[in-house]
Chains A and B, each alone.
Chain A
Amino acid sequence: MQDSEILEILKIAEEDGKWFSEKYEELRTKYEGKVVAIKNKNVLGDANSVDELLDKVGKKGEDVAYVLIETIPPKDVSFIL
């Protein structure tokens, strides 16, 4: 893969990550406890597990390799790495 392609993929992934962070509270209200797929600042789908989510996103014809997958833990869950 060319560097220019990688830079473009990284740019989109970073923008989606930033969007997820900015919208976190709003998204948590809607998708608490779920796994969500994000692309181009949109939630493509949500599910209880990654497998289920991949099936949903795949059926929409998306390449799952280039979709941001994030989890939204319940509000009362916390852990120390």
Chain B
Amino acid sequence: MPRIPCSLRALVGERYFPFVTYFLTSPHINKPIDAIVDTGSPYTVLSTNEILGTRMPIRTMQRGEMVSLAGFRFFRYPINNVTLKFKTETGELFTGKLAVIYALIPTKIDKNTLNDVKNIPNIIGHDFMEENGLSLYFNPRGKIVYLEY
């Protein structure tokens, strides 16, 4: 089956986690994104840092359902009709679609909170993998990781 290479990236501590880079296309954001592949996350999300990096007005984005992550509470602000493009091992593009991706907007926006949540990464979640027929192979000891479609 065709593969999308991933990388092993340090996140915190000594462990390495599966990361993948994709190009996000949406009405307001068009940029490469580095994301952890987290099959335990029901949603695909953009981190607070990623949103801050786009200069989008996060104070006006404090709406949507609430979600708890890594001990912090966020609004999950919906960004509709996005396309995620990945480079395959053969140098082609794999294009996946998602009806909605969520921006993680802290329920409280101040200097301390933004500092506390800055380590939370972008996430490719269960929703994107299921809707686009992807599976993850992750062998941390062998340092082998890729997505298959």
| Interface residues of A, Cβ cutoff 8 Å to B | 1, 3, 6-7, 9-11, 13-14, 17-18, 20-21, 24, 35, 48-51, 54, 64-66, 68-71, 73, 77-81
B117 smallest CB distance to A (angstroms)? 10
Q: Using known A-B contacts A71-B119, A77-B119, determine if residue A17 contacts B9 with beta carbons closer than 8 Å.
A: yes
**A-facing mask of B6-32, CB < 8 A → 1, else 0?**
011110110010010111010000111
The answer to whether B53 touches A64, judged by C-beta atoms less than 8 angstroms apart, is yes
In the complex, chain B residues 67-109 whose Cβ is within 8 Å of any chain A Cβ: 69-71, 85-87, 91, 93
Instruction: Beyond A35-B118, A49-B118, A65-B54, list 5 extra A-B contacts (CB 8 Å).
Output: A14-B21, A14-B87, A54-B53, A81-B41, A81-B69
Residues of A within 8 A of B85 (CB): 3, 6, 10
A74 smallest CB distance to B (angstroms)? 9
B46 CB-CB contact with A under 8 Å = no
Q: Which residue of A lies closest to B17 (CB)?
A: A81
Residues of A within 8 A of B118 (CB): 35, 49-50, 71
B8 smallest CB distance to A (angstroms)? 7
Sample of 6 A–B contacts (CB below 8 Å)? A6-B85, A6-B93, A13-B34, A17-B21, A21-B8, A81-B41
B127 CB-CB contact with A under 8 Å = no
B114 CB-CB contact with A under 8 Å = yes
B52 CB-CB contact with A under 8 Å = yes
A14 smallest CB distance to B (angstroms)? 5
Residues of B within 8 A of A51 (CB): 52
Q: Which residue of A lies closest to B54 (CB)?
A: A65
Q: How far is the CA of A66 from the CA of B29 in the complex (A)?
A: 12
Q: How far is the CA of A81 from the CA of B25 in the complex (A)?
A: 26
The answer to whether A73 touches B12, judged by C-beta atoms less than 8 angstroms apart, is yes
**A-facing mask of B28-40, CB < 8 A → 1, else 0?**
0011101010101
Q: Which residue of B lies closest to A12 (CB)?
A: B32
The answer to whether B91 touches A79, judged by C-beta atoms less than 8 angstroms apart, is no
In the complex, chain B residues 32-70 whose Cβ is within 8 Å of any chain A Cβ: 32, 34, 36, 38, 40-41, 49-50, 52-55, 69-70
Residues of B within 8 A of A71 (CB): 49, 118-119
